Chains A and B, each alone.
Chain A
């Protein structure tokens, strides 16, 4: 067994045995490479346990004692608190990660925070602020936040802030930038859907219909789009078209934009379709 492995093994043994808070070990004897390796080991052991569990947090904390500047581990630790609703702790950990990352000129954790502010905390002002800061750091108008374009998040946040024209601009900008990158923006059904939502709120119903239909061009099982289309037709007095679209929303309800962790903005539920259908019958 190499000396390195022995030292790292010892490091782990120290941690497993000394999980109590008052027994923090001195890791200064390790070189930077060894610290990285040791922290990685704690991190990987942590992943062996359920994310919301005490042991997951204990080993993540240990990794951060060895390597306090590791924003990836810090961000992951925040999930453990966030997913079980311990949000004061979650955001304390996440904000520290953002602070370290930004100090290093990186927007990665900020990109995650923008996502989390929008969907978890419905903090629309915070989302816009974070996306603007991301654009400032990267110098790019197009960035991705946790798998979705940051501009899409900004657009949704502006929509919720009732800044519909700004929201439309932000959402259109996503399409423009993606076209520059060679993407086929016809697939951006959620972008078109929220542009449609903004136009509907602005009572520009023709444009709302146009955008909902664009959304349905690429995804025909999109109950939220059918539902909103139904509401627009109902407002316009086109009862027959309203009913057809509401019934399609009902038919495709199992394909709603839901996900396990959060309820999406404008996610559709059965009672809303039933209420709308009752209104026109």
Chain B
């Protein structure tokens, strides 16, 4: 098996291995890790006679002269020694030889993608534009998202001078069912003709870089490289005034992941299920539960439990006793979400599974409903 796998990998390296990138090419660091994606927020700029490495603030880390990128390149920066393999015309996988903590084996490789150089934007124009309004982003989910099929997730973003506040609303059948907000630093910068938006939290919590690809009088369009399939997203000028937005935030719970890259699963490492067990949750949630349904099935509420014992990043899947998609009433879904969010006894500062890098954990509560009554909770 190893033999065949090696052949396959070797083959990947030989795809146009030697062909050089055109002059003046920008590459964006997408993520590292093949099965646990963690943002890898760096940019590389290949010019005629040099390759420059930038951080996620657009600051030059180092420039190497007389160098170029192809499928065999090893770029020897002082802080990083990047060994390249070429996957296809525009994607390279990279191994940082100097970083033995994060780059351990084939699976930990990072990915860089060449990006199209869009018409040059004036950075000040973008900054002025985004600070004047509250923007709406209809969340497009990807493999970094928690499982969800039944919530419509919308974010409202308010950019201040150097920080952005993101209010996430979860809608079920048109009704706002849960909300949370977080604030983080942001920066807009350009390299050559390309403009970027990047976020910043703690140093050990890398944040993705987004390429700004379009701007008009109402919308800003970005390209998101943080998952295996890059996607175009839009921040649309919303009708929410800044005053109204600030009022909304006042009445919303704060939630932030401790680590925005890969998150663990509830069954890894230490027990991170609810400290008082399922029956306690059933008793709490059943209390005052609305009797609006006579249906039977399961309501699965997905969440992320952060390292501080808080819940956020919700997802919702509903299914029948035959394990087919179905829907329950807004009342019971809303009641379950509210009741779960009120639960306080979640584990905090849990130990993580050795060999995996995460701080927060994805979990789910699957309520079994019989004739509209909550009868059980799994897992």
Report A's interface with B, CB cutoff 8 A: 5, 8-9, 11-13, 15-17, 40-41, 44-45, 48-50, 52-56, 83-88, 91-92, 95, 119-123, 258, 260-263, 267, 269-272
Q: Does B298 contact A (CB under 8 A)?
A: yes
B324 to chain A, nearest CB (A): 7
| A-side contacts of B276, CB under 8 Å | 269-271
Determine if B366 is an interface residue (Cβ-Cβ < 8 Å): yes
Given A12-B4, A50-B36, A267-B277; 20 other pairs, CB 8 A cutoff: A8-B4, A9-B8, A12-B7, A12-B8, A16-B11, A41-B5, A49-B107, A54-B35, A55-B34, A84-B147, A85-B147, A85-B364, A86-B147, A86-B317, A87-B317, A91-B323, A95-B323, A120-B379, A261-B379, A263-B379
B366/A49 in contact, CB under 8 A: no
A121 touches B378 (CB 8 A): yes
Measured CA separation A56–B271 after assembly (Å)? 24
| Contact of B265 with A120 in the complex, beta carbons under 8 Å | no
Asked whether, in the complex, the Cβ of A48 is within 8 Å of the Cβ of B107, the reply is yes
Contacts of A263 in B (CB 8 A): 273, 277-278, 378-379
CB-CB under 8 A from A261, the residues of chain B are 267, 379
Are B378 and A92 interface neighbours, CB within 8 A? no
A49-B34, A269-B275, A269-B277 as given contacts; A88 in contact with B364, CB under 8 Å: no
Number of interface residues of B (CB under 8 A): 45
Contact between chains at A120 and B36 (CB < 8 Å): no
A-facing residues in B9-63 (Cβ within 8 Å): 9, 11-12, 34-36
Q: Chain B's interface: helix, strand, loop or mixed, by majority?
A: mixed
| Count: A-B pairs, CB below 8 Å | 112
Main secondary structure of the interface of A (DSSP, over half): helix
| Contact of B36 with A53 in the complex, beta carbons under 8 Å | yes
Complex Cα gap A269–B8 (Å) = 50
**In the complex, A252→B3 CA distance in Å?**
50
A8 closest partner in B (C-beta)? B4
Knowing A41-B1, A122-B368 are in contact, say whether A50-B35 is a contact too (CB < 8 A).
yes
Q: Is the beta-carbon distance between B3 and A88 smaller than 8 angstroms?
A: no
Q: Name 29 A/B residue pairs within 8 A (Cβ), A-sorted.
A: A5-B3, A5-B4, A9-B4, A13-B11, A16-B9, A16-B11, A17-B12, A41-B1, A41-B5, A44-B1, A45-B5, A48-B107, A49-B107, A53-B34, A83-B265, A84-B265, A85-B317, A85-B364, A87-B298, A88-B319, A120-B379, A121-B366, A122-B368, A261-B267, A262-B379, A263-B277, A263-B278, A263-B379, A269-B280
Given A50-B35, A53-B36, A87-B300: A123 in contact with B321 (beta carbons within 8 A)? yes
Q: Return chain B residues, CB-CB under 8 Å to A95.
A: 323
Bitwise, B356-376 to A at CB < 8 A (1) or not (0) is 000000111010100000011
Instruction: Tell me if A54 and B143 are in contact (CB < 8 A).
Output: yes
Cβ of B302 < 8 Å from any Cβ of A? yes
Alpha-carbon separation in the docked complex, A271 to B278 (Å): 12
Residues in B with CB closer than 8 Å to A260 are: 267, 271
Neighbour of A88 across the interface among B4, B35, B279, B325, CB < 8 A: B325
